[in-house]
Amino acid sequence: MARIAHVFQALMAVSSRETVKFMHQRGRLASAVVRPSLWLLIFAAGFKNVFGISVLPPYESYIEYQVYVVPGLLGMVLLFNGMQSSLAMVYDREMGLMRLLLTAPLPRSVLLACKLLAGTFLSVLQAYAFLVVCALFGVDLPWWPGLLTVLPALILTGLMLGALGLLLSVYIKQLENFAGTMNFVIFPMFFLSPALYPLWRLQESGATVIYQLSRINPFTHGVELVRFALYGQLNAVSLAVVAGTLVVFFAAAVWGYDPQRGLVRRRG
């Protein structure tokens, strides 16, 4: 019981720190909402007819485009926040705060799990803030019970992407290297997914290599898990892939942060 109480205390401490830091970063929520809103409201509206050629196919209308991309844009919110969490870990390590956290009398896996849960909580809050924007602009979604059925999928996908962020923070040595992470991790994961267009379009167009890369992309299965859950359905394959990659990413992050075995020790 004492150990459980200590774990709960650590979770509350880390969560409160992350929440207070988030409240002080007022532009963070705005950017998390504005970024997917640009894709939802402006992209197709501004470019849906260029030289008489529609860029909306396979969507028959602008409304259909909006309905399709919302799950992918929810995934975008989770993806970017997971990467921002990794940026915070790099900053904490440079400032020495990570050393203080990891010297707490609890297993490193517990401490990192608390960090992961706190970041995922903020990710899900931002995802629901984006859903509020969708409701304000009249996007035709199954609001009830979709808002409830999508919650477990958002949490699991947020945990998976947050665990990826933890793993990346092991390898990112300085804050300046985060720009490379944007170019080589975030954007490829987002565009090699069904966030903006169905994968069968890639296969149909002959982009076989890109199609196969998209199929093995964990973010693809996170988006599909959210998309099915929003309509009260379960994609068992995507659930298995997201859960499996969550375990692998988190285990690798714990290994990397263990000074007895991981990269922290090898860096001195």
With contact defined as beta carbons under 8 Å apart, do 225 and 153 qualify? yes
Assess whether pLDDT exceeds 60 at residue 260.
Answer: no
Nearest alpha carbon to residue 56 among 201, 176, 181: 201
| 173-184: pLDDT as tens digits | 766 666 677 678
Assess whether pLDDT exceeds 80 at residue 90.
Answer: no
What is the full DSSP assignment across 69-118? HHHHHHHHHHHHHHHHHHHHHHHHHHHTHHHHHHTSSS-HHHHHHHHHHH
**Greater pLDDT, 102 or 87:** 87
